[in-house]
Chains A and B, each alone.
Chain A
Amino acid sequence: MSLDRGSDSVQAGGRVEVEPGVFATLRPKRTVWQSIRFFATRKPLGTFGAVVAIILVLVAASADLAPHDPYRTNVATGDQYSNPSAEYWFGTDHLARDVFSRIVHGARVSLYVGVLSALMGSSIGLVVGVASVQLGGKVDLVVQRFVDAMMAFPGLILAIAIMSALGASVNNVIIALTVAFIPSTARIVRSQSLAITEMDYVLAARAVGAGNTRIMLKHIIPNIFALYLVVFTFYIGGAIISEAGLSFLGVGSPIDTPSWGGMLSGATRQYISLAPWLAVFPGLAIFVVVFAWNVLGDALRDVLDPRLRGTD
């Protein structure tokens, strides 16, 4: 628990002035580079995750540099099911589209869906969880029953049900996954903010007359932020794998969208023995990226919030 938060409420009316040097004896201040080096040496696997995440962002940003148009079908030339070659690095699919270019563009879809749905799901969940504790009483009871009910649906099933109603589109996938992420975030955030509400510094803040809003913004949310960041990181991986799953089932991104999951379904499954590269490369892309976000989430959890650390 950091000491510099919440100290403003110790004295009524005005901040407690603390010499910057006081905390230096408790924890040496690190430069950004030192922090990165510290993280890299302590958490090599997490660093690997961070590097893959950065590569994913770069690939998604520069997807237009891909050698071929991911949508262009080329059946006339008879280039369907080409083996991986210098022209087509990862081969071509049943419509003679370049698999490598589709994977590169698929990174854009994955990242777009992953970041947006994780951000919205965890943020709305954060607000619901914190508000539920602050408003307390009946509101908390009712909100928690809603959370219970939503948690009865396994995430993917809820997303499938929503997608069946909304229809296949990338933005609908984001809506469906956001809804699926809210209840579990709200539950985790609630239990954490309940614990924080019991802390002495919150009691002290109340004693000097701080209202609900102030306590929420100045004490609870800053102290939950580490948890929020960890949840957000894990959800990006979760959203990427879910988007792939939905598109694989044909209820996610529209069929011609270059989505990693969609690339594994349909013709790929039918002609897998003829063209195994169609299944190998998109699958590897999903696997490596999800693995990376998971280990990054694990490492962030260990570094940011030791209370959450498991024994693994």
Chain B
Amino acid sequence: MKTYIAKRTLLFIPTMFLVTVAVFVIMRIVPGDPALMILGEGEEGAADNLTVEKLEKLRAKLGTDRPIYVQYGSWVGNMFKGDLGQSYFYEGKPEVTFYLKDRIPTTVELTLMSLVLASIVAVPLGVLSAIKQDSVSDYAARIITLLGIALPNFWVAVMTIFFLVLLFQWAPPLAYEKVWDNPWTNFQQLIFPAIALGTSNMAFIARITRSAMLEVLREDYIRTARSKGLAERVVVYRHALRNALLPVVTLFGFELGRLISGTVIIETIFLVPGMGKLLIDSIGNRDYPMIQAVVLMIAITVLVMNLFADLLYAWLDPRIRYS
């Protein structure tokens, strides 16, 4: 167990290094020179005033005049100092970390809300489906999950807004309230995005719960529990569900990836000022340092959560003896 933890944690370091390389390389396949782009894209006629001195000055300011490995080195070096770079777009306060600190809590809140909502619906649905296998309710639950997985979350979101407008004249609010400023308004603002975000995850979790429950219910210890004369409720919840939830935990990292992908879309539609909306806005602004920082933060989060899920799994399931 200890060797497993050590091994798993050590593997994290080279992976982390490769993640930074990957982000850096993707952002460097941008065709053209960012300095030229910034100067050329200003107000009308900006391209005419373009001088070599101006260009070189901006290149020096952005650091793009240095060799590529020096750029990578200073980027990673600054990262350890808590500096993720300077935004090309926000001139008044260009530190990328300032915007990340502002946006991350919102996305975390939205993700957690949607995960909780999805689990509340999905786990009972999966259990019901498994204990009543091949009944009408099982088929109904399976059809719901099959449909839920194929429903594109952006369509769910667009249609949710449509019905909210139709029924309540509700529209995504322009001013977002933070949870510590105004919890009730914040809840009202996030509940619909959370539902739209959680639909496909709900379906997915229900499906996994069902198949895990079906497998566990065939185990010998369930037969033993039943033959001891335990109430069916105790057998299902104490004995079966506890073990069936293990694979659900392992898939947590994978689920998180799907949820984060989803937040990009949901935040854009519902105008929630989180990381996802920041990413899409930054693409519109061609703010490459910001895109780079957001993508890196997402990858790090997924890596850390995967590590956490693996360790949790090893700890939860004593049957597993890792060598």
List the interface of chain A (C-beta within 8 A of B).
Answer: 45, 145-146, 148-150, 152-158, 160-167, 237, 241, 244-245, 248-251, 261, 264, 268-269, 272-273, 276, 279-280, 283, 286-287, 290-291, 294-295, 310-312
Contacts and interface: CB of A to CB of B under 8 A. Distances in A.
Contacts, number: 140
B304 to A, nearest CB: 9
A interface secondary structure, majority: helix
Given A149-B15, A149-B22, A294 B149 contact: yes
Given A152-B299, A152-B302, A283-B158, A165 B29 contact: yes
A153 B150 CA distance: 22
Interface in B22-52: 22-23, 26-31
Contact of B265 (A153, A158, A167, A245): A245
Contacts of B210: 311-312
B257 A154 contact: yes
A272 B261 contact: no
Contact of B280 (A249, A286, A310): A249
Contact of B211 (A146, A268, A286, A310): A310
A197 to B, nearest CB: 19
Contacts of B283: 160, 163-164, 251
A249 B264 contact: yes
B159 A283 contact: yes
Given A165-B30, A291-B146, A291-B147, A154 B19 contact: no
Q: Which of A146, A152, A153, A164 has the most CB of B within 10 A?
A: A152
Nearest to A247: B154
Contact of A145 (B18, B149, B166, B284): B18
Q: Which of A161, A279, A280 has the most CB of B within 10 A?
A: A161
A249 B158 contact: no
Nearest to A293: B150
Interface in B260-288: 260-261, 264-265, 268-269, 279-280, 283-284, 288
Given A165-B30, A261-B154, A294-B150, A156 B261 contact: yes
B152 A287 contact: yes
28 contacts: A148-B11, A149-B19, A149-B22, A152-B300, A154-B258, A154-B261, A156-B261, A157-B299, A158-B26, A160-B280, A161-B295, A165-B28, A166-B29, A166-B31, A167-B31, A244-B154, A249-B280, A251-B283, A268-B158, A269-B161, A272-B158, A272-B165, A273-B165, A283-B152, A283-B158, A287-B152, A291-B146, A310-B211
B154 to A, nearest CB: 5
A241 B22 contact: no
Contacts of A251: 280, 283
B205 interface: no
Nearest to B145: A312
Contacts of B90: none
Given A279-B155, A311-B210, 12 more contacts: A148-B11, A152-B299, A152-B302, A160-B283, A161-B23, A248-B154, A249-B264, A261-B152, A261-B154, A279-B159, A294-B146, A294-B149
Contacts of A161: 23, 26-27, 291, 295
B102 to A, nearest CB: 20
B10 to A, nearest CB: 11
A157 B261 contact: yes
A164 B306 CA distance: 26
A287 B200 CA distance: 12
Given A248-B265, A294-B149, A153 B162 contact: no
Contacts of B56: none
